[in-house]
Amino acid sequence: MAASAGAGAEPWTVLADPDPQPLATFLPEALSESRADGYFASGVLQNQADGSTSPAVGRFDANGNPLHWSFDGGFAKKLLPDGGFVYGSQHEIDAPTSRFRRSLCMVVRINADGQTQWQTELDGRFCRAVEIDAAGEIWVAITDNVIPDDSNFLNLDNIRIAQVVRLGDDGRITARIALDDPLQRVVDMRANPVGAGVLLAIHHAEAGNPQAVRVGMRRLRADGSVDWQWRSSNLAFASSDTQFRVSASGGIFAISSQFKSGQSVDNAKDWLAVGLSLTGVPRFDKTIRFDNAVYVAGVSAPDAAGLWLVVE
């Protein structure tokens, strides 16, 4: 994804553009889907003069050449059929009753020409995920971390999804689904790739064992009602970063660190792999055992043949 060869630039170097201003080296942090007409990327622009950085979202053509910029931060998430995209960001406001500023989840819709069409603030602290289902509906998963001074940013509430919101084409809220259940911590969300609605990854608390959970899945219809839900028969670590992936051809996959005595959550020989069809039919719920302790750093998108794991 480099600039065109004729430009003579290194990958991700943005050439000086006098309109509106010269741009320095762009360091990408997240990419949207790639299509024939290009893709979006979010990251930072480094100021070569003083070393400072600015958050930015850029649109690139299929050869990696920059087309438009939005200096609003956030992360590029989903391309829209008309060439625009939506992404989640964070907006800080003054809190009259506290000495700390309050963070709000903000969703931004960018047109194909790089102009902001709308932005919507939601009453949650952080946009955990932004998804677009097969029906074209925009879904936002929001965490409600109430730690005002970020003194414990590893607290599990930082990744607990407290509500799911559906937005219309104009950015207005069309549905809000509360997920406030301390025994069922929703940790991730993916859009339904073949219809309306979303799929949720859930950590179910295990009675008498605060270190362990059972990984579960749930499908929500467009109106927020539950279509089906499922729970693993095996235990995973409660603090495990469950890797959750969904595709039309591969179905639903989740990888977690399996809970076993004497095993570390991030450095383990045994990992729990679960797979379901998009209709909630279980395919497997099994242990993946490595010869040596490893950390599963990433998981590819699944296809009909399975998926790839990135291990360290």
**Across all residues in the chain, what is the average pLDDT?**
76
Binned at pLDDT 50, 70 and 90, residue 255 comes out as very high
Q: Is the Cβ–Cβ distance between 72 and 33 less than 8 Å?
A: no
For 70, the token pair is: 């939005």
What is the distance, to the nearest Å, from the Cα of residue 265 to the centroid of all Cα atoms in its chain? 21
Residues in the chain: 312
Give yes or no for a contact between 12 and 25, defined as CB atoms under 8 angstroms apart: yes
Q: Return the half-sphere exposure (C-beta side, CA atoms, 13 A cut-off) of residue 291.
A: 0
Please, which residues have CB within 8 angstroms of residue 169's CB and are 6 or more apart in sequence?
A: none
Provide the pLDDT confidence category of residue 251 given band limits of 50, 70 and 90: very high
Amino acid 82: pLDDT = 79
Residue 212 has pLDDT above 60, yes or no: yes
What's residue 215's pLDDT? 96
- In order of 7, 38, 83, 91, 217, the CA distances from 113 in angstroms are 23, 13, 8, 23, 38
List pLDDT tens digits, range 188-202.
999 998 989 999 999
Q: For position 25, what pLDDT does the model report?
A: 62
**In angstroms, rounded to a whole number, what is the distance separating the alpha carbons of residues 112 and 292?**
48
Give the pLDDT confidence score for residue 4 in this predicted structure: 33
pLDDT of the residue at 22? 37
d(CA 104, CA 212): 31
Give pLDDT, residue 91: 65
Write down the pLDDT at residue 271. Answer: 92
Asked if pLDDT for residue 178 goes beyond 50, the answer is yes
Question: pLDDT value at position 105?
Answer: 80
Widest Cα–Cα separation across the chain: 64
Q: Which of 22-36, 73-87, 132-146, 205-219 has the lowest mean pLDDT?
A: 22-36
Lowest mean pLDDT among 4-8, 103-107, 186-190, 275-279: 4-8
For residue range 218-239, list pLDDT tens digits in order: 999 988 899 999 999 999 998 8
Give me the amino acid identity at 144.
Answer: D
Question: Is the model's pLDDT at 242 over the cut of 60?
Answer: yes
Amino acid at 100: F
Is residue 265's pLDDT more than 90? no
- Percent of the chain past pLDDT 70, that is, above it, reads 70
Q: What does the block give as tokens for 166? A: 């559906």
Q: Is residue 216 over pLDDT 80?
A: yes
DSSP letter for each residue of the chain: -PPPGGGT--TTPPPP--SS-----EEEEEE---BTTBEEEEEEEE-TTT--EEEEEEEE-TTS-EEEEE-S--EEEEE-TTS-EEEEEEEEE--TTSSSPEEEEEEEEE-TTS-EEEEEEESSSEEEEEEE-TT--EEEEEE----TT-TTTTSGGGT-EEEEEEE-TTS-EEEEEE---TTEEEEEEEE-TTSSSEEEEEEEEETTEEEEEEEEEEEE-TTS-EEEEEE-SS-EETT---EEEEETTTEEEEEEEBP-TT--SSSEEEEEEEEE-TTS-EEEEEEEEEEEEE-EEEEPPPBTTB--EEE-
Digit-coded pLDDT (tens) for 58-99: 777 888 777 776 655 555 566 777 777 888 876 666 555 555
Q: pTM for the whole thing?
A: 0.71
pLDDT reading at 12 higher than 60: no
Give the pLDDT of residue 204.
92
